[in-house]
Chains A and B, each alone.
Chain A
Amino acid sequence: MTLLAAFACVFFTALAAWFVFAGDERLPEDSPAAARLRALRERKQAIYDNLRDLHFEFLAGKLAQPDYQRSRQMLETEAARVVREIQRCGEAS
Chain B
Amino acid sequence: MQLFGAYAVLLAFVLAVYAFVAGVVGHLRRRRRLIVSAERATLAVFPALTVAVLCLIGLIFRNDFTVAYIAEHSNRALPFYFKIAVLWSGQEGSLLFWSWLLSGYAFVVLLGGRLRPGRAADELSPKHAHRALVPLASVILAGVEVFFLALNNFAASAFASLPVGTPADGNGLNPLLQYSQMDIHPPLLYLGYVGFAVPFAFCLAALLKRYPGDRWIHITRRWTMVAWLFLTIGIVLGGLWAYKVLGWGGYWAWDPVENAAFLPWLTGTAFLHSVMMQEKRGMLKIWNVWLVFATFLLAIFGDFLTRSGLVSSVHAFAQSSIGGWFVIFLAIAVAVCLAAFFKNKDFLKSENPLESTASREAGFLFNNFVLLVAAFAILWGTLFPVISEWVEGQKISVGRVFFDRINVPIFLFLLFLTGVGPLLAWRRTSAASLKRNFLGPAILGAAVLALCLAMGWRDPYPLVCFALAAFVLAIVAMEFYRGARVLSRRSRRGLALSAVELTMRNTRRYGGYIIHVGIVLLAVGIAGSGFNQQTEGPMPYRAKLAVGPYTLTSLAYTQDDNANFSSEALIVRVDQGGREIATMYPSRRFYKASNQTQSMVADRSTLLSDLYLVYAGDDPETNQPILHAYWNPLIAWIWIGALVIGFGTIIALLPSRTAAARRENPPARVAETAEVAQV
Residues on A with C-beta less than 8 A from B427 are 70-71, 74
Whether B668 pairs with A35 at a CB distance below 8 angstroms is no
Known contacts A21-B37, A28-B128: A34-B482 contact under CB 8 Å: no
Report the bound CA distance from A67 to B356 in whole Å: 12
Contact of A30 among B118, B132, B279, B679 (CB under 8 A): B132
- B44 near A43: Cβ-Cβ < 8 Å: no
- 18 A-B residue pairings within 8 Å (CB atoms): A5-B4, A12-B48, A16-B11, A16-B44, A16-B48, A25-B117, A26-B118, A27-B115, A34-B122, A35-B129, A44-B668, A44-B672, A45-B126, A54-B426, A66-B432, A67-B430, A67-B433, A71-B426
B394 to chain A, nearest CB (A): 53
Q: Contact at B126–A41, with CB atoms within 8 Å? A: yes
Shortest A62–chain B CB gap in Å is 6
Chain B residue numbers with a CB within 8 Å of A50 are 280, 426
Nearest chain B residue, comparing its CB with the CB of A28: B131
Q: Which 6 A-B pairs have the closest CB atoms?
A: A39-B213, A90-B676, A28-B131, A39-B212, A60-B482, A64-B432
Task: Determine the distance from Cα of A49 to Cα of B103 in the docked complex, in whole angstroms.
Answer: 36
CB distance from A44 to the nearest CB of B (A): 6
- How many Å lie between the Cα of A21 and that of B84 in the bound state? 35
- Determine whether the beta carbon of B425 is less than 8 Å from that of A57: yes
Indicate if B181 sits at the interface (CB-CB under 8 A).
Answer: no
A-side contacts of B672, CB under 8 Å: 41, 44, 83, 86
A19–B427 Cα distance when bound, in Å, is 52
Cβ of B15 and Cβ of A16 under 8 Å apart? Answer: yes
CB within 8 Å of A: which residues of B? 3-4, 7-8, 11, 15, 18, 32-33, 35-37, 39-41, 43-44, 48, 51, 113-122, 124, 126, 128-129, 131-132, 134-135, 211-215, 279-280, 282, 351-352, 355, 423, 425-430, 432-433, 436-437, 482-483, 485-486, 506, 659, 666, 668-669, 672, 675-676, 679
Q: Please measure, in the bound complex, the distance between the C-alpha atom of A90 and the C-alpha atom of B668, giving whole angstroms.
A: 15
Residue of B nearest to A40 (CB): B213
In the complex the two chains form, is A20's CB within 8 Å of B44's CB? yes
Residues of A40-61 contacting chain B, CB below 8 A? 41-46, 48-50, 53-54, 56-57, 59-61
Distance of A68 from chain B, by nearest CB (Å): 9
Contacts of B426 in A (CB 8 A): 50, 53-54, 71
A61→B436 contact, CB < 8 A:
yes
- Structural contact, B675 and A28, CB atoms closer than 8 A: no
- Among residues of B, the one whose C-beta sits closest to the C-beta of A42 is B213
A49 to B51, CA, bound (A): 47
- Known contacts being A56-B486, A71-B425, is A62 close to B436, with CB within 8 Å? yes
A48 contact set on B, CB distance < 8 A: 668
What's the least CB distance linking B282 to chain A, in Å?
A: 7
Residue of B nearest to A9 (CB): B7
Is B436 touching A64 in the complex (CB atoms < 8 A)? yes
Nearest B-chain residue to A65, judged by Cβ: B432
Best-surrounded residue of A28, A49, A74 (most CB of chain B within 10 A) = A28
Beta-carbon nearest neighbor of B433 in chain A: A64
> Among A25, A28, A44, which residue has its beta carbon within 8 angstroms of that of B132?
A28
The answer to whether B211 and A41 have CB atoms under 8 Å apart is no
Kindly list chain A residues whose C-beta atoms are within 8 Å of the C-beta of B43: 19
Given A9-B7, A45-B668, is A61 in contact with B482 using a C-beta cutoff of 8 Å? Answer: yes
